[in-house]
Amino acid sequence: MQGSGADNGRHSTSAIDDLRRQRWKVWGALVLAGLLFGLMLGRLFGPASLPTSAPQLLAIGESEQGLVLRFDRQAAVTAARVEGALTLRIVARGAAQQGDGRWLGQPLRWRVREEGKALLLSLVSTRPLQGRWQWSEDGEGWRLVVELQERDGRE
């Protein structure tokens, strides 16, 4: 007991100051454990584990078979045909563009616009269209070659 005399200069019960000091040690340990746990979660779910940014559309060119689109990386592509037009949805970023050309002697119009987190490439001609696309890598990036084909009007 505090009032009963010293045992080698110590009392048998802790003083109030010692309890406060131990309380701070417990809080410090909890804060340190929380910090380490947060750092561990940050390493697991940090930017390295998240998907990278979307590919960037660099340029669009015309060819005899259709269009050639140049990207910095390969992107996911899905297609749809709506009333004779061919529409490609490309998961990438890029600026809205449009242009005119000729395909098999017929006028061809194309337009690229942003829709959500993707680009929508629409191809319209006086003939019903269908198409194939193929990715190829060259020294400057990835090329998406869209080859157009005439479609039967029976569908």
Can you tell me which residue has the tokens 């701070």? 24
Residues in the chain: 155
pTM passes above 0.85: no
Q: Is position 31 within any domain?
A: yes
pLDDT exceeds 80 at position 34 = yes
pLDDT tens-digit profile of 103-149? 888 888 999 999 988 999 999 988 888 888 899 988 888 999 999 88
Q: Is position 30 within any domain?
A: yes
Three-class secondary structure of residue 80 per DSSP? strand
Any bridge partners for residue 122, and if so which? 87, 111
Same domain as 64, residue 39:
no
DSSP state of 3: G
Any bridge partners for residue 69, and if so which? 60, 144
DSSP-assigned states of every residue in 84-149: TEEEEEE-SB---EEEEEEETTEEEEEEEEEETTEEEEEEEESS-EEEEEEEEEETTEEEEEEEEE
Of 80-89, 95-104, 128-137, 146-155, the range with the lowest mean pLDDT is 146-155
Residue range of the domain that includes 63: 57-150
Q: How many domains does the chain have?
A: 2
The predicted pLDDT at position 154 comes to: 54
- Residue range 79-88: average pLDDT? 85
Higher-pLDDT residue of 110, 13: 110
pLDDT-derived band at 69 (thresholds 50, 70, 90) equals: very high
pLDDT-derived band at 45 (thresholds 50, 70, 90) equals: confident
Same domain as 38, residue 88:
no
Same domain as 130, residue 100:
yes
Average pLDDT, the chain: 84
Q: Is position 84 within any domain?
A: yes
**Closest of 119, 107, 117 to residue 148, by C-alpha:** 107
Same domain as 120, residue 77:
yes
- The answer to whether the CB of 131 falls within 8 A of the CB of 149 is yes
pLDDT exceeds 70 at position 2 = no
DSSP state of 7: B
**Closest of 98, 96, 94, 106 to residue 70, by C-alpha:** 94
**Closest of 90, 83, 132 to residue 113, by C-alpha:** 90
